[in-house]
Amino acid sequence: MKKTLTISVLCLAFAPSVAMAVTHWWEQPTVCKLDPTDCYTSMGIGYESEMWDSDANCWGMKLICPGALNPAGDYPVTIGRNEIKSGTGINSDFDTNVLNGDCFGVRKTKDNGAMAMVNGEYTRVWCNGILDTPDEYMQNGEITYGAQPTCAQLAEYGYVAAVNNNCYGKYYDQSQYYIECNGNDVMPSRLILLNGADYTMNVAGAPADESAADKLFDKMESTSESQRGIYFKD
């Protein structure tokens, strides 16, 4: 009788240990576990979903494109959610909410892509082939980080700094138009319709120089304006 009682007590003493052994140690309630929360609602291309963002206490980190880094890099880099929000290590000219291939970060644009942000300011995106040495190729054309081309430089090839669909650089046939520039301005001061006249030919009574030609055109413009006031009433 005593032996039977002793065995029963031993069984009772070890019963909890047997039950605990059934549950894996990592599933025990006393084991500390990482928060299973994801940093982003959905993660695919451009994310490292298995990386732990210790600062934000969640899973998943964005891959930021090398051009969007500050300073620019050679390869995409994973950056934490809070760092991206604060702008740490991010070039403010870029939007890190937009996927660019297999990473995030495209240069900010406006006006249907005709203007792009460079060093905190929007600059013209020139149509392909207008810039001699572009610094960067955009979806709609090319940009330069330095000085913009002048009116005279553009006019040499028949171009004007006007919007051409979603980039800048509108072509005017030089046999039909004369592009008048003023110093180093980007935009022309006037665009003169030649009406079929060849302004390169020497014509009797033609203005002797550019100053004389400007005076003649001003006079023609004034006459035209006064005649319009007589015959075309508002």
Residues 83-112 have pLDDT tens digits of: 999 998 999 999 999 999 999 999 999 999
pTM score of the predicted model:
0.67
Alpha carbon of 24 to those of 29, 30, 33, 34, 174: distances in Å?
A: 10, 12, 14, 17, 84
Residues 154-190 have pLDDT tens digits of: 999 999 999 999 999 999 998 899 999 988 889 998 8
Residue 163 contacts residue 172 (beta carbons within 8 Å):
no
Alpha carbon of 37 to those of 43, 56, 144: distances in Å?
A: 13, 10, 43
- Written as one letter, the residue type at 118 is V
